[in-house]
């Protein structure tokens, strides 16, 4: 499996610092569980964070006072997410380990809700800012044309989707921001399952999806 679309350095650094919301942490952890490249980059950021922290606690030299917030930051580091590989979970062809905490390993028991045009969603229970959901898009079907009021991460778990000229397959993550408007389409003859995370409601152009937004919490 070759992953072509990766996390940004910003997201990796925020994850290493433990400042992402649960929904975004889930998307980052899920991508990292599939992507050697981003896992290596995260390791480097965590090591860098540790080195900076160590030098803060030493105060650099004996005369320099410890910075006021060094202890607070040291305490905050204790709350960092556990290393991804820590609890060994069974390998699943669709659901990577971080997602198994939310939906288990049996795709057939996921409670899908219709979003219209054959697209279905299952909202995941995450706390704090942002929301996370699994999307099930039938082969050849498009997600209704929409824009974004914040950031949206869409990680492919099964099948693939096309967005303009770009293609996204298992492990690939698409990062959309307020500047982006798109109509992702499930490619080929396989249904596409994605993990989608947003920190603000989407902007739908068609009336029906717009009316349904409060119900779908999308
Ligand atoms: Zn990656
Ligand atoms: Zn989008």
User: What does the pLDDT profile of the chain (218 residues) look like in tens digits?
Assistant: 689 999 999 999 999 999 999 999 999 999 999 999 999 999 999 988 877 777 765 554 544 455 666 656 655 665 555 555 555 777 899 999 999 999 999 999 999 999 888 999 999 999 999 999 999 999 999 998 999 999 999 999 999 999 999 999 999 999 999 999 999 999 989 999 999 999 999 998 888 888 888 888 88
Counting Cα atoms < 13 Å in the Cβ hemisphere of 144 gives 19
What whole-number distance in Å separates Cα of residue 119 and Cα of residue 116?
6
The pLDDT assigned to 30 comes to 98
CA of 172 to the centre of ligand 1 (A): 7
Tokens of 29: 């952890």
Tokens of 126: 């995450």
CA of 166 to the centre of ligand 2 (A): 14
CA of 159 to the centre of ligand 1 (A): 18
The pLDDT assigned to 94 comes to 96
- Give the number of whichever ligand sits closest to the CA of residue 41: 1
CA of 208 to the centre of ligand 1 (A): 35
Total count of domains within the chain: 1
What whole-number distance in Å separates Cα of residue 35 and Cα of residue 59?
36
CA of 146 to the centre of ligand 2 (A): 6
Supply the CATH number for residue 36's domain: 2.60.120.10
The domain of 19 spans 1-218
pTM of the predicted structure, to 2 decimals: 0.83
């Amino acid at each position: 499996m070759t992953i072509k679309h990766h996390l940004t350095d910003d997201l990796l650094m925020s994850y290493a610092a433990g400042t992402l919301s649960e929904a975004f942490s889930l998307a980052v952890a899920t991508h990292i569980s599939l992507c050697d490249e981003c896992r290596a980059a995260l390791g480097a950021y965590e090591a860098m964070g540790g080195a900076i922290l160590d030098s803060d606690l030493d105060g650099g030299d004996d005369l320099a006072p410890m910075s006021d917030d060094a202890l607070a930051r040291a305490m905050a580091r204790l709350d960092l997410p556990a290393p991804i590989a820590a609890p060994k979970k069974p390998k699943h062809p669709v659901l990577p380990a971080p997602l198994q905490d939310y939906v288990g390993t049996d795709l057939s028991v996921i409670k899908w809700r219709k979003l219209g045009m054959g697209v279905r969603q299952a909202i995941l229970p995450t706390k704090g800012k942002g929301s996370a959901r699994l999307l099930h898009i039938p082969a050849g079907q498009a997600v209704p044309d929409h824009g974004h009021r914040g950031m949206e991460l869409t990680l492919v778990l099964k099948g693939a989707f096309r967005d303009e000229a770009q293609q996204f397959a298992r492990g690939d993550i698409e990062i959309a921001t307020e500047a982006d408007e798109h109509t992702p389409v499930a490619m080929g003859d396989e249904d596409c399952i994605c993990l989608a995370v947003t920190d603000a409601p989407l902007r739908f152009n068609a009336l029906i999806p717009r009316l349904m937004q409060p119900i779908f919490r999308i």
